[in-house]
Structure 1
Amino acid sequence: MQLRGEQLAAHLERALQPIYTVYGDEPLLVIEAADAVRAAARRQGFAEREVLTAIAGFNWNDLGSTACNMSLFGGRKLIDLRIPTGKPGREGSAALQDYCARPSPDALLLVTLPGLDWSEEKAVWLKTLTEAGATIKLTPPNLGDLPAWIAGRLQRQQQGADREGLRFIAERVEGNLLAAHQEILKLGLLYPPGKLSFEQIRDAVLNVARYDLDGLREALLSGDLTRLARTLEGLRQEGEAPPLVLWAMTEEVRALAQAKAGVAAGRPVDLVLKEARVWGARQALFKKAMQRIGNDQARAAVRFAARIDRLVKGIGAGDVWDEFLRLGLMLSGRQFSCGEE
């Protein structure tokens, strides 16, 4: 069965499945969901626990032998299998399928993984785990939903904040849920239960934003110039290499131009996005960006990215970080002259 993250708590109050698979891009959510499964297993008599970590050189025969090697006192066991790469490989895939075919009645298998790409989500081994137990895919809230997520976490510790305070926290953590979690816990330690003032939040919360290239891509495609400027400045201060920043932005610019050209030629939008290697959640961002900008703007953005490439290589004059922001301005849908040579 497939469960959403918000369904897990109620599900764990009932009889447990023999296998739980937990995965997602956000480590905090995966850790919390796995902890919830472990706690439920302890409540229901799985007193022993054995951790297996499938790193290079891992012997997949250990999975079956661990399930068979039960305590002399007849206790039930939780097998905590961690696959850090998210890719069990051919041997691991076979071992997981074999286990699912004959799960131990005295063991509960918990499999934790990082985020999986679209191909791994369709893999036979994951489908087999889902059919034999319960699979929980943890999806982090997007930036617009982050204030509500923070409000829910504050409520757990009997605290609250107004919209301004919630937005302040969200902007400072820049999508980093683990950092947000830490800041929320800190507010619980610093202040008593009740409504937090903006001044209290401002004084307590550190700027722990995690500026990364994925956030940069999202800001670029969404046309959010404020976030784009903040992310670029964060990357600049953290010493990110300009060629890597240019690569991330250019990948999106080229894909967008390719998709726009395909649609202009009368081809279905889903098909051209697939050909441009745009999958999953990125498709929604691309479709909005395609509605926002025209074909001429898309082609001009490609040419402007090539101009920045020359600047990165030392050809021409100008500040490359300013030019990154100008490229983002071109894709925001606003009127802009790039001043191409």
Structure 2
Amino acid sequence: MKTQTAQLPQLLKKGLAPVYLISGDEPLLVQECCDQIRQAARDAGFHDRLTFHADHQLDWSTVADEFNAMSLFAERRRIEIHLPNGKLGKGKDALERYLEAPTDDIILLLISTRLDAAETRRKWYKSLQNKGVHVPVWPVDAEKFQGWLKQRASRQGLHLTQGALSMLAERLEGNLLAASQEMDRLQLLTKGETIDEATVEQAVLDSSRFNGFELATELLAGRAPHAGKMIGVLQQEGENPLGMLTVLSRDLNLILELKSVASQGDAPSAFLKKRGVFQPQRARVIEQAARRLNTPQLHQALEICTQIDRAAKGFGDLSPWHYLRDLSVHLAQRN
């Protein structure tokens, strides 16, 4: 079955399905849906956790063996499979066989970017809908972003004036992950006090976060020498690259969409405004990148982003900064 993010908590209270698919391009909302499923699974006794990343290095026979393995001492397990490009590829046969008869001691969680129409017509997806739950995560529309901020603030017990809310919405430009981080920080700083424009002005100007945004801009603009210097500084300061990576991956996917609509004759400026890109500088960088980079280059850039993500989470021998430097060189090339 397919359900909406808002309906997931109630659905989990009724009982666990053997398999869940969470797909979408909003990392914060995808993460929060996954966390709800993980907590419900832990509460039901599924404490063991195995994680796989469906990249070119994954041996799907290993995953199939885990599907078929009997848990020691009847231990219940959670198996998570990350699909960075929204496709199962060689893994579809293993998943199809498992979905024919899911076991009671496994909760399978598939975490994916947005699925394309072709993937939803495959046998594995139809089997998943029959046996489990698909939660598609949709972006928050630009015109609804301020309302989303207000709802989020209220849920965290924050009291914002309308001016403060408008200022936050303008600064955050629809970035939900950055918005969540700012709400957490405001909660710590204000301790229940009403938040006005002056408070936001002082709290939001976090240089390290804006350095991360600036690095993403430099990478997309192809300015490898300057990007390399920034990577060195952020590495020395002990910054976590995952926040910047979220912004960069979002914009790379946006550039791919822009190239598609531009080939159909649609105006880039209208498309970007519809997707919540209002700042002229960011819009200009995205448009220029769409003209400079071809589709294979953009897909390769997203593959490198996956390597950065894995390295930042402790997979592999190389640091995420190594892959970031590779990405800066890659994005500086012209098609």
- Superposed pair shares fold, TM > 0.5: yes
Give 1:84 deviation, angstroms: 1.5
2:66 alignment partner AA: T
Higher helix share: 2
Q: Which residue of structure 1 lines up, in the alignment, with residue 117 of structure 2?
A: 118
Q: CA offsets, 1:242-297, max 9 Å, x none?
A: 3635899xxxxxxxxxxxxxxxxxxxxxxxxxxxxxxxxxxxxxxxxxxxxxxxxx
Question: Among 197, 221, 240, which residue is 2:270 paired with?
Answer: 221
The code of the aligned residue for 1:120 comes to E
Tell me whether 1:15 sits opposite 2:15 in the alignment.
yes
Aligned to 2:280: 232
d(CA) in 1 for partners of 2:80, 2:270: 39
Per-residue CA distance 1:290-336 (angstroms, 9 max, x = gap): xxxxxxxxxxxxxxxxxxxxxxxxxxxxxxxxxxxxxxxxxxxxxxx
Q: Which residue in the other structure is 1:140 paired with?
A: 139
**Aligned twin of 2:24:** 24
> Between Structure 1 and Structure 2, how many residues are aligned?
243
The residue number in structure 2 matching 1:200 is 199
* Residues in 2 aligned to 1:192 and 1:113: alpha-carbon distance in whole angstroms: 37
Give the aligned residue type for 2:119. E
- Taking the aligned partners of 1:246 and 1:160, their CA distance within structure 2 comes to 44
State the secondary structure of the residue aligned to 1:144. helix
Query: Which residue number corresponds to residue 82 of structure 1?
Result: 82
Q: Which residue of 2 aligns with 1:242?
A: 288
Contact 2:19–2:109 (8 Å) recurs in 1: yes
What is the alpha-carbon distance in structure 2 between the residues aligned to residue 25 and residue 125 of structure 1? Answer: 21
- Give the deviation of 1:123 after TM superposition: 3.0
> What is the match of residue 227 of structure 2?
none
Aligned CA RMSD, in angstroms, stands at 2.9
Q: How does 1:129-208 map to 2 (within 5 A)?
A: 129-206=128-205, 208=210
1:17 aligned counterpart, secondary structure: coil
Aligned 8 A contact 1:159 1:188 in 2:
yes
Q: Which residue of 2 aligns with 1:97?
A: 96
Equivalent residues in 2 for 1:42-53, closer than 5 Å: 42-53=42-53
Q: Distance in 1 between matches of 2:191 and 2:199?
A: 11
The amino acid across from 2:47 in the alignment is: A
**1:60 is aligned with what amino acid?**
W
Equivalent-residue separation in structure 2 for 1:234 and 1:174 (angstroms)? 10
Letter in structure 2 aligned against 1:221? A
Residue type at the aligned position of 2:81: L
The verdict on how the C-alpha distance between 1:105 and 1:247 changes in structure 2, with shifts beyond 3 A counting, is closer
The 1-side partners of 2:292 and 2:66 are apart by 48
Q: 1:196 to 1:243 in 2, by over 3 A?
A: closer
Q: Percent same amino acid among aligned pairs? A: 32
- Counterpart of 1:35, as a letter, is D
Q: For residues 140-171 of structure 1, what are the alpha-carbon distances to aligned partners after superposition, in whole Å with 9 as ceiling and x for unaligned?
A: 21111111111122122211213322222121
The AA in structure 1 aligned to 2:145 is L
Structure 1 residues 232 and 198, CA, compared in 2 at 3 Å: closer, same or farther?
Answer: closer
Check conservation: 1:172, 1:206, Cα contact below 8 A.
no
Structure 2 residue runs without a partner (length 5+) = 214-246, 259-266, 295-335
How far does the alpha carbon of each residue in 1:169-206 deviate from its partner, in whole angstroms, 9 at most, with x for none?
12111121111111111111111125311221222123
Quote the offset at 1:87 in angstroms.
1.1
8 Å Cα contact 2:26-2:139 kept in structure 1: yes
Q: 1:245 to 1:70 in 2, by over 3 A?
A: same
Where does residue 35 of structure 2 map in the other structure? Answer: 35
- Hey, what's the Cα distance between the residues in 2 that align with 1:80 and 1:243? 34
Q: Is the Cα contact below 8 Å between 2:49 and 2:77 reproduced in 1?
A: yes
Q: CA deviation at 1:121?
A: 3.1
Residues 124 and 195 (structure 1), Cα distance of their counterparts in 2 relative to 1, 3 Å cut: farther
The one-letter code sitting in structure 1 at the alignment partner of 2:288 is: P
Higher gyration radius (CA): 1
